[in-house]
């Protein structure tokens, strides 16, 4: 009796693993690039945003302009989330994920080939900004499609763990970016690194992107997404159509008002994740250099420790949220950042703090963000029905990141320069997490138990 049903079984059995790899690979490439850009912000500022008459300096102005370009890419992400999200909800997850990885890979590789201001003059910063905008569009479509794919393909009771792989590949991408930058800073002289070595990490995005593209071209759509109705598993179809499940394909179409309300609430729930994540994991290298006088190598090592703590906590946090719910795990992370951000930053600022203590502080800072990032993707997926899932969760994530993550470097650098306070990063992360905790408190304790709508 099993032989007759064995033939369609292999694709269904391999779908979750392939979906996990395909979603994770593109996400890794995206965040590798963002990590590289953050690590080389001071070098990029000198090449693209420092006038020739200020080649030896320029103060905080060029760095602020660099972060403005960084923020601009984030403000294109909501447009990308809306555009590619609608496509993903209408034509399927696979074609959109193939399109966005091609766009991201091309834009990132071209950054590594761009002429600098010394060569192209005033056109150089505009060309960089244009490529950053294209990256923003593709990144906006990446998150919604990848998270929808992973959570819709997850086995029962494992949505949190599958969704956590999205955040885990963020950590891997940032670690790869910081590690690549640290390696180049070690093997190349400062002059060589500044001259052409900074281009190497951007050019590496090409083979990475081609590998991700190969994985995505062989992707199978999740059940009910881009497949004939007869291929949807009966058990899932029955549970999705059950009364109260809110499945739009079963007849209850989501209203525009309900979707907008869910987007606004989703933004509130991930505000702390966005702000603290970028403060501790991306902005930190430039802050340590420009504010605390750390060397380039010291700043990269510090960022690596923070990202290690982040990576180590993500999958356990996602798995734990499958058992006890998203609310307690994410609330714990938000409150931990709100309470510990300032003491941890003071440890880094104190010249008497030992190197092991500073390393432990950085690991702890990264781990608190992981408590938010692990359950976060599944939490967002559970807020939206399938008909608008790509669009809804993608727009919520993109808007939160545009305001609170993309502007983190710009706000922190500007306020630190204006006020002279070295505590600005802690206030920024703690304040955002305090706001997020209030929104997370509205989560239902049993959201993780039922099927996706």
Structural domain includes residue 450: no
Structural domain includes residue 6: no
Residues 6+ apart with CB under 8 A from 3: none
Structural domain includes residue 269: yes
326-349 and 296-324 helices cross at what angle (nearest 10)? 160
Measured distance CA(361)–CA(343) in Å, rounded: 9
Nearest to 143 by CA among 366, 377, 318, 372: 377
Structural domain includes residue 448: no
Token code pair at residue 145 = 């499609």
Measured distance CA(391)–CA(80) in Å, rounded: 10
Structural domain includes residue 445: no
Per-residue pLDDT of the chain (453 residues; tens, 9 = 90+): 444 444 344 344 346 777 788 888 888 888 788 778 777 877 887 888 775 444 444 455 666 666 666 667 777 888 999 999 889 888 888 888 899 999 989 998 999 999 988 888 888 888 888 888 888 888 888 888 889 888 888 888 899 999 999 889 988 887 888 788 888 888 988 889 889 999 999 999 899 999 889 888 877 776 645 433 333 333 333 333 333 333 434 345 667 888 899 999 999 999 999 999 888 887 777 778 777 777 777 877 888 888 899 999 999 999 999 999 999 999 999 999 999 999 998 888 888 888 888 889 889 999 999 999 999 999 999 999 988 998 999 999 989 988 888 778 778 888 888 888 889 999 999 999 999 999 999 998 887 877 787
What's the structural domain count of the chain?
A: 1
Its domain, for residue 382, covers 18-220+256-440
Structural domain includes residue 238: no
Structural domain includes residue 51: yes
For 282-387, where are the E strands, in sequence order? Answer: none
Residues 6+ apart with CB under 8 A from 371: 313, 317, 329, 330, 332, 333, 336
Structural domain includes residue 415: yes
Nearest to 287 by CA among 411, 138, 200, 186: 411
Q: CATH code at 79?
A: 1.20.1250.20
Structure letter (DSSP) for residue 354: -
Q: Do the Cβ atoms of 116 and 124 come closer than 8 Å?
A: yes
């Amino acid at each position: 009796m099993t032989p007759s049903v064995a033939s369609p079984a292999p694709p269904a059995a391999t779908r979750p693993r392939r979906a996990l790899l395909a979603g994770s690979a593109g996400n890794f490439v995206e965040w590798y690039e963002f990590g590289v850009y953050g690590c080389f912000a001071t070098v990029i500022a000198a090449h693209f945003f420092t006038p020739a008459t200020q080649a030896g300096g320029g103060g905080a102005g060029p760095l602020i302009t660099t972060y403005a370009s960084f923020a601009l890419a984030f403000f294109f992400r909501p447009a990308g989330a809306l555009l590619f999200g609608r496509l993903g909800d209408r034509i399927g997850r696979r074609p959109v994920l193939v399109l966005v990885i091609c766009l991201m890979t091309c834009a990132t590789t071209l950054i590594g080939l761009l002429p600098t201001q010394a060569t192209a003059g005033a056109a150089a910063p505009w060309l960089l900004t244009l490529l950053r905008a294209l990256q923003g569009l593709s990144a906006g479509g990446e998150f919604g499609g990848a998270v929808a794919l992973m959570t819709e393909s997850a086995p029962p009771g494992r949505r949190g763990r599958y969704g956590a792989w999205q955040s885990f590949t963020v950590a891997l991408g940032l670690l790869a970016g910081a590690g690549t930058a640290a390696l180049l800073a070690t093997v190349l002289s400062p002059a060589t690194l500044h001259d052409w070595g900074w281009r190497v990490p951007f050019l590496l995005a090409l083979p990475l992107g081609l590998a991700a593209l190969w994985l995505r071209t062989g992707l199978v759509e999740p059940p009910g997404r881009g497949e004939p109705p007869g291929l949807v598993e009966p058990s899932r179809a029955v549970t999705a159509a059950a009364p109260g499940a809110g499945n739009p394909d079963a007849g209850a179409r989501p209203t525009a008002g309900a979707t907008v309300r869910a987007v606004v609430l989703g933004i509130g729930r991930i505000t702390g994740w966005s702000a603290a994540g970028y403060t501790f994991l991306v902005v930190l290298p430039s802050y340590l250099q420009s504010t605390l006088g750390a060397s380039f190598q010291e700043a990269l090592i510090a960022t690596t420790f923070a990202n290690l703590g982040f990576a180590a906590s993500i999958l356990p946090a996602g798995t734990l949220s499958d058992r006890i719910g998203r609310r307690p795990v994410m609330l714990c992370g938000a409150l931990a950042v709100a309470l510990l951000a300032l003491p941890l930053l003071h440890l880094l600022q104190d010249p008497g703090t030992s190197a092991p203590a500073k390393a432990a502080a950085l690991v702890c800072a990264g781990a608190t963000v992981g408590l938010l990032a692990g359950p976060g993707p599944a939490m967002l997926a559970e807020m939206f029905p399938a008909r608008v899932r790509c669009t809804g969760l993608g727009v919520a994530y993109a808007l939160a990141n545009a305001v609170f993550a993309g502007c983190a470097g710009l706000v922190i650098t500007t306020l630190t320069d204006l006020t002279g306070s070295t505590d600005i990063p802690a206030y920024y992360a703690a304040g955002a997490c305090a706001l997020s905790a209030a929104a997370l408190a509205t989560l239902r304790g049993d959201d993780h138990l039922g099927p996706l709508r």
